[in-house]
Every structure is written in C-alpha cells, then in structure tokens.
Amino acid sequence: MRIIRYEFKYFITTEQYREIMGCISRHLIPDPYARDCPGYRYMVNSLYLDSPSRLYYDEKMAGIQYRRKIRMRCYSADFFNADYYFAEIKKRDMFHIDKLRMKLKNGDFQNYLERQFLNLSPAFMDDSHPDHAIARELIYYTNRHILEPRTFILYEREAYIAENDDTIRVTFDRSIMSQSFYSGLSRDLTGWTLIFPGKTVLEIKVRTFLPFWLHEMVKELGLDFEAISKYCSGVDRAAAFCQ
C-alpha cells in the first residue's frame, strides 16, 4: 500500500481539544477502527529501526529536508504478541509524506526479527507477491544502513476521517511513551518514559489541499505548527532517563 499526503502537527491543550472537537464533529466521523473502541481511542505501538550511528535520528535533528524513517507497527500494547504488524517506510519532504506500508502476520514478523531485520520470508520477494516492491525496498534500506531495532513508541490515538472518503484524517495522540528496544524485551509496560507529559499531539493529514473550514479552525485557535518527532523525542527521553 502507498499513501501520499501532507501532514501538519501541533501541540494542543485540553481546552483546544474541546474546541477542535466542536468543529470537526460537523465534518468528520470516527475512523473504522476507532469507532469500535471506547472513546474512539486505540493503542499504537511502533518499533523504530535506525543505523548503529543513528542516521535517521541525525537527519531529523539536522533539519534535512528529505529524510525517511522505518518502523514496525502494531495496534496492541503487547508488541510481540500482536496478530499482525505493518512494516512502514515513511519518506518526508517538508510537509509532503510518501508512506509505503505492507502487512505482516505474526509469524512473518517473528521470522523477520530472527533474521535481524536483514531479510524477509522468500515469499515476499517473489514478483507475484502484491507487496514485493515494498519488501525489496525495505530490505534494501535495512541492509544498506545496517538497520537495527532502536526504540519503541507507544501511545493512545483518537482518529477521525471524512465521512465519504479518506482525503482528510485528524488524530489526537496522548500518553506518548518511549522505551529502548532491549528494555522492551521484558514484554511488559514497566520502564516506559513519557515523552510529552501532559500534552496532546494533534495531527492533520490531507491528500490534497487543506479544506477552508480546517484552515480557519487552525487560524482561529492560533495553533502553531511544530516539527514533532515521536522517535527522536523518544530517543532523547530514553537517554535522559538512563543518565
């Protein structure tokens, strides 16, 4: 699967959240996955890969315009026992996002983990597999940059989409926590560090242009765009926690 869109991120207060909900409730509905969850909220759990020298971290911190990140994502607080995962290559050019995504069953992910993220099951590399192009690009980067698991990022997400299409997506991320990969091997929720204590991250994602009503909402609330990186902030918090 390939997703091309623009993304804008903001820190918001509880009061701003209420005002935003009053606005978007007239235009958006809970996304299909969220609508079956209490409060339209679900867990997002991601394992970020990076090179031994932290190439992707350094590119972000240096403000490199075109950069990428690679992660394994599931929707369970228990990362290793999820039914399925998504391997994602997310390429960013300022606000423009080009995301490649393929689904892995638990067994396929465990196989990938055992191969130290350097190769997938042969079936994924076959030309007949629908995700073979994504699989090959993933393996290209994991081998070229000698990628290894670095950091878990876990948070609660509340998500809304346009009623008749998927051109608009608005999410609220809360209780964002990080943990190093090796600490996370304990497979429990101990040792997690809050990245943005008391803060909510608003993300606005659109396929084309920002609708007028959404642009006016951002303007009226005085929201300021923030270059928020959960991965980089998680690495920083984990390092501070260990000092």
- The mean pLDDT of 21-39, rounded to a whole number, is 93
- Residue 16 reports pLDDT greater than 60: yes
Count, in order, helices (H) and strands (E) of the chain.
8, 10
Classify burial at 107, counting beta carbons within 10 Å of its beta carbon; exposed 0-12, middle 13-18, buried 19 or more: exposed
The residue range of the domain holding 7 is: 2-242
How many domains does the structure of the chain reveal? 1
Angle 57-72-227 (CA atoms, 0-180°, nearest 5)?
Answer: 40
What share of the chain in percent tops pLDDT 90?
A: 80
CATH number at residue 233: 3.20.100.30
For 86-104, the pLDDT digits (tens) are 999 999 998 999 999 999 9
pLDDT of 29 > 60? The answer is yes
pLDDT tens across 179-217, in order? 988 755 555 556 789 999 999 999 999 998 899 999 999
Helices (H), 126-202: 132-144, 181-184
> CA–CA separation, 220 vs 210, rounded Å?
15
Q: Tell me the whole-structure pTM to 2 decimals.
A: 0.93
Residue 37 contacts residue 16 (beta carbons within 8 Å): no
Q: Calculate mean pLDDT across residues 31-49.
A: 94
pLDDT for res 189? 57
Bridge partners, 229 (sequence order): none
Rounded CA separation 65/93 (Å): 5
- What is the pLDDT, as a whole number, of residue 190? 60
Residue 13 phi/psi, 5-degree rounding, is -90, 170
Q: Give the model confidence (pLDDT) of 150-182 as tens digits.
A: 999 999 999 999 988 779 999 999 999 999 887
- pLDDT digits over 220-241, tens only? 999 999 999 999 999 998 766 5
Looking at the predicted structure, is the pLDDT value of residue 107 above 90? Answer: yes
